[in-house]
A and B are shown apart, each in its own frame.
Chain A
Amino acid sequence: MRPTVLIDEKQLQLIINRLSHQLVENHRDFSNTVIIGLQPRGVNLAKRIQAKINEITKMNVPVGNLDVTFFRDDFRRRDKPIQANSTEVDFLIENKHVVLVDDVLFTGRTIRAGLDAMLAYGRPASVELCVLIDRRFSRQLPVEPNYVGKAIDSIDSQRVTVSWKETSAADCVELHSQKQ
């Protein structure tokens, strides 16, 4: 079966613009707010949002990449170890407002690990969650996003893939219904 296109390049641009404006509305000039993208695929979204916010606010908003591999709760429950990615957070988050950014919110477990991993950089004043795709009704932990690109209804066997221009041919979000 061909995958269903959930978001195409044009829509993605609109969504990133909307999310950025929502963030600016709540965080004003971003003087005390930082953005952290979760590795591996939240990083591209975080960079795009940062670029847009920089354009709106004329500020340089700090953005970091956080890898959660060593904080996951499924260690030794998978067949294979998970490959770690680099963490690049060159600021402290003590008393800062943090916006965690990821591409797809599914069970909520990655976000839980992200909350844990983040604490190595200080105690944030608040944490918000921004996701491109919210797979509703599939949460295993009480995690809810504050900013949502698009909410979709899907079943466990389906897969959502997000491709970015930076790493693939084009920006695209697809829903796969069959295991490939």
Chain B
Amino acid sequence: MNGLSVKHLTGIKDLKKEDIELIFQTADEFKEIINRPIKKVPSLRDITIANLFFENSTRTRLSFELAEKRLSADVVNFSASSSSVKKGETLIDTVNNILAMKVDMVVMRHPYPGAAKFLSEHVNTTIINAGDGTHEHPTQALLDAFSIREKLGPNFKGKKIAIVGDILHSRVALSNIFCLQKLGAEITVCGPTTLIPKHIEKLGVKVSHSLEETLQWCDAVNMLRIQLERQGDDKDVAFFPSLREYSMQFGLNKEKLESLDKPILVMHPGPINRGVEITSDVADSNQAIILDQVENGVAIRMAVLYLLASGMERK
């Protein structure tokens, strides 16, 4: 067996289909391990990982930290709010200083698109992108696809997946599109005109502005969060008139789900704005696999860390 074709995970765009499948196969085994009474394996016991979060995160950060700890790696955490970034240090300097303390891998979330790629070209370490601005969030896309594979089977050919909501600001959407396309699925993005990026159909996805039609078409729907921090009444540009109107047009509720002639999978990358993009009764229903996604997140991140670490040189 060959390892991954990449040395860093900066985005799904750089991965091959075989890489994604290898990550899934490895994650299958890790999922079994994290359901054991003793959830820990010693694989990464000689590796130190720095989690650099220049942007807020709860789920991704916890998930990475748990994945690292269950592989027995040593972990250091760093958040921008309490660091020298505020004093004007550059990104490369910050990371090189951390590496000087003998850290082997860096997991980074950063508000600027391309930050992970930039760092991987300028710093001598293995970089894992945990979200860079509105660009990519590769591990989220992998865990979303892994969750779909678990429920709908391993063959993505002809599977119809819809991504609904704020496509414009979403790194999850872009990574999901790359990942699912590489696996052979068909994708429709759906949302108000203002939240769909121009020319997105060039990526080979369909665009729809009707949630009802999209739901009728798809096998699984990924409801993205409306990023309240990036829009709203007090901001310069409002992307839609009101939350209530958005919710009526593009929010998923029980009636819309029950009007379909087949059950579909409902996914959400979290955090949920209950009552906005998805109602509580849908989020808590049997069709929603939101908590499965969170569980699979740890297994997927363990697989990514394990596979990238196995390709690293011993220093």
CB pair A84–B26 under 8 Å, yes or no, is yes
Shortest distance between the CB of A83 and any CB in chain B (Å): 4
Which of these binds chain A: B7-15, B165-173, B199-207, B302-310? B302-310
Residues of B within 8 A of A (CB): 1-3, 25-26, 28-29, 32-33, 36-38, 41-43, 46, 71, 306-307, 309-312, 314
Give CA–CA (A87, B25) in the complex, Å: 13
Task: Evaluate whether A80 and B314 lie within 8 angstroms (CB atoms) in the complex, with A71-B41, A86-B29, A119-B38 already known.
Answer: no
Could you mark each residue 105-122 of chain A with 1 if its beta carbon is under 8 Å from any beta carbon of chain B, else 0? 000000000001101111
Give CA–CA (A38, B100) in the complex, Å: 41
CB pair A81–B310 under 8 Å, yes or no, is yes
Task: Evaluate whether A77 and B314 lie within 8 angstroms (CB atoms) in the complex, with A120-B36, A120-B37, A120-B38 already known.
Answer: yes
Query: In the assembled complex, which residues on chain B have CB atoms less than 8 Å from the CB atom of A117?
Result: 41
Shortest distance between the CB of B20 and any CB in chain A (Å): 15
Shortest distance between the CB of A40 and any CB in chain B (Å): 12
- Is A103 in contact with chain B by the CB < 8 A criterion? no
Query: In the assembled complex, which residues on chain A have CB atoms less than 8 Å from the CB atom of B306?
Result: 70, 81
Query: In the assembled complex, which residues on chain B have CB atoms less than 8 Å from the CB atom of A121?
Result: 36-38
Q: By DSSP majority rule, is chain A's interface helix, strand, loop, or mixed?
A: loop
Smallest Cβ-Cβ distance to B38: which chain A residue: A120
Selected A-B contacts with CB under 8 Å, 18 pairs:
A70-B42, A70-B43, A75-B309, A76-B310, A76-B312, A77-B314, A78-B310, A81-B3, A84-B25, A87-B33, A92-B37, A116-B42, A119-B38, A120-B36, A120-B37, A120-B38, A121-B36, A121-B37
CB pair A75–B38 under 8 Å, yes or no, is no
Query: In the assembled complex, which residues on chain A have CB atoms less than 8 Å from the CB atom of B312?
Result: 76
- Is A158 in contact with chain B by the CB < 8 A criterion? no
Query: In the assembled complex, which residues on chain B have CB atoms less than 8 Å from the CB atom of A83?
Result: 1, 25
Smallest Cβ-Cβ distance to B28: which chain A residue: A86
CB pair A81–B25 under 8 Å, yes or no, is no
Give CA–CA (A78, B311) in the complex, Å: 9
CB pair A67–B29 under 8 Å, yes or no, is yes
CB pair B314–A81 under 8 Å, yes or no, is no
CB pair A80–B1 under 8 Å, yes or no, is yes
Shortest distance between the CB of B54 and any CB in chain A (Å): 29
- Is A126 in contact with chain B by the CB < 8 A criterion? no
Smallest Cβ-Cβ distance to B36: which chain A residue: A120
Smallest Cβ-Cβ distance to B2: which chain A residue: A80
CB pair B309–A76 under 8 Å, yes or no, is yes
Smallest Cβ-Cβ distance to A122: which chain B residue: B37
Task: Evaluate whether A81 and B28 lie within 8 angstroms (CB atoms) in the complex, with A70-B33, A70-B42 already known.
Answer: no
The 7 closest A-B pairs by CB, nearest first: A81-B310, A70-B41, A84-B29, A120-B38, A83-B1, A70-B43, A81-B3
- Is A20 in contact with chain B by the CB < 8 A criterion? no
Give CA–CA (A69, B307) in the complex, Å: 12
- Is A151 in contact with chain B by the CB < 8 A criterion? no
Smallest Cβ-Cβ distance to B42: which chain A residue: A71
Query: In the assembled complex, which residues on chain A have CB atoms less than 8 Å from the CB atom of B41?
Result: 70-71, 117
Shortest distance between the CB of A100 and any CB in chain B (Å): 18
Give CA–CA (A116, B41) in the complex, Å: 9
